[in-house]
Amino acid sequence: MTDMMRAWVVSDPGPIHQSSLDQSSLDQSSLDQSSLDQSSLDQSPLNQSPLTLVERPVPVPAPGEVLVRVRVCGVCRTDLHLAEGELAPRHSMVVPGHEVVGEVVQLGKGADRFQIGDRVGIAWLRHTCGACRWCRAGRENLCPQSRYTGWDTDGGYAEFAVVPAAFAYRIPPSFTDEQAAPLLCAGIIGYRSLLRAQLPAGGRLGIYGFGASAHLTAQLAIAQGAEVHVMTRGEEARELALQLGAASVGGPYDAAPVPLDSAIIFAPAGELVPLALESLGPSGTLALAGIHMSDIPALNYQRHLFNERTVCSVTSNTRRDGEEFLVLAQRLGVQVTTTPVPFEQADVALRDLAAGHVRGAEVLRMT
């Protein structure tokens, strides 16, 4: 007889929050939710949740894998992109979730890096080939054979999940389960974005969008002496930014108050790219942190790029990024702002994220 567990699966990818808004206003709606109200959500035929709660057999750890009893799982914007179909599904009925903190309960053959009872984290990257030119150059995030938790393979919106031991993380003891979960993607990707943004010591950093990833990244930058300017919708997000030490806050389309050395766009909104580039000083770098972004409008060479400005994307992360970030997060005392959500309400959590109503990071808690 097989042990069963509860799991959320992406059963029907499609827009979550669209109602009176048509598809062409999708980009705008990601920045301005003022036209959305609860009643329109409740009446919308498109309002069916893309997620379904199902019963599944508890997975069996393959050689090299460990089985983890999930205690919490963070909700990432990538889960939303997957649920809404903006990120093409790699297989149907996948269990999303790649910010898992839990306890090792079973070891696959040869998985000797952990012991039963260890607290571990399961993150986005879960396989690379180890042999290609990118892997050999320490850039495994670009490995063409890379595989991802909650996209290629079932993730942590479930009571149990498996992970290759080589890709699991030890969690610094100073963080609770709930605090640690958002570190595993929001934190790690934010850290890589900050590296990609080439922020000089004591430099000025612009941050566009202030969700889970941004609120952690801002703290890293501030702790390292940067002056941080935040451009975002949402009164709560702006308050949090000021509370964490941002030098200024403004609306998503506002110009930065000073020329920036570096900027990171966390919002999945391509229309912000020209604005952010215009706010960069000479030699400035703009990093685009998301896995998905709406189309970028045409750029003007003089206004947006001349004076050796650079724009770059951020693609996943290496395990080294993850290890470095977790050490840094503990040493700098990064504060993780979370909104706990019961496991049974994962669909509601995604809807809140889509609507931009979240303070810090949402975390699903097993009950």
Residues at the site binding Zn ion, with contacts judged by CB under 5 A = 76, 78, 128-129, 132, 135, 143, 185
CA neighbours closer than 13 Å in the CB half-sphere of residue 260: 31
Task: Identify which of residues 29 and 78 has a Cβ nearer to Zn ion in the complex.
Answer: 78
Q: What amino acid is encoded at 140 in this protein?
A: E
Of 171, 221, 176, 169, which Cα lies nearest the Cα of 195?
221
Task: Identify which of residues 191 and 260 has a Cβ nearer to Zn ion in the complex.
Answer: 191
Of 183, 198, 190, 155, which Cα lies nearest the Cα of 330?
183
CB 12 within 8 A of CB 347: no
The strands making up 260-265's β-sheet, listed across from edge to edge, are 248-250, 227-231, 204-208, 260-265, 280-288, 310-313
Task: Identify which of residues 10 and 275 has a Cβ nearer to Zn ion in the complex.
Answer: 10
State in angstroms the smallest separation of the CB of 54 from Zn ion.
22
CA atoms of 216 and 335, how far apart (whole Å): 7
| Residue 283 tokens, joined | 């030699």
Task: Identify which of residues 183 and 218 has a Cβ nearer to Zn ion in the complex.
Answer: 183
State in angstroms the smallest separation of the CB of 259 from Zn ion.
31
Task: Identify which of residues 49 and 78 has a Cβ nearer to Zn ion in the complex.
Answer: 78
DSSP state of 83: H
State in angstroms the smallest separation of the CB of 128 from Zn ion.
5
Task: Identify which of residues 274 and 322 has a Cβ nearer to Zn ion in the complex.
Answer: 322
Task: Identify which of residues 19 and 78 has a Cβ nearer to Zn ion in the complex.
Answer: 78
Task: Identify which of residues 185 and 205 has a Cβ nearer to Zn ion in the complex.
Answer: 185
State in angstroms the smallest separation of the CB of 41 from Zn ion.
24
What backbone torsions phi and psi does residue 275 show, to the nearest 5 degrees? Answer: -65, -45
Burial of 124 (0-12, 13-18, 19+ CB in 10 A): buried
State in angstroms the smallest separation of the CB of 146 from Zn ion.
7
State in angstroms the smallest separation of the CB of 201 from Zn ion.
28
CB 212 within 8 A of CB 74: yes
State in angstroms the smallest separation of the CB of 134 from Zn ion.
5
CA atoms of 102 and 116, how far apart (whole Å): 11
State in angstroms the smallest separation of the CB of 266 from Zn ion.
11
Of 291, 284, 280, which Cα lies nearest the Cα of 314?
291
Distances in whole angstroms, Cα of residue 338 to Cα of each of 179, 189, 229: 7, 17, 22
Distances in whole angstroms, Cα of residue 241 to Cα of each of 179, 205, 247, 287, 329: 18, 13, 9, 19, 17
CB 308 within 8 A of CB 282: yes
State in angstroms the smallest separation of the CB of 236 from Zn ion.
21
Task: Identify which of residues 129 and 195 has a Cβ nearer to Zn ion in the complex.
Answer: 129
Of 48, 174, 47, 172, which Cα lies nearest the Cα of 121?
172
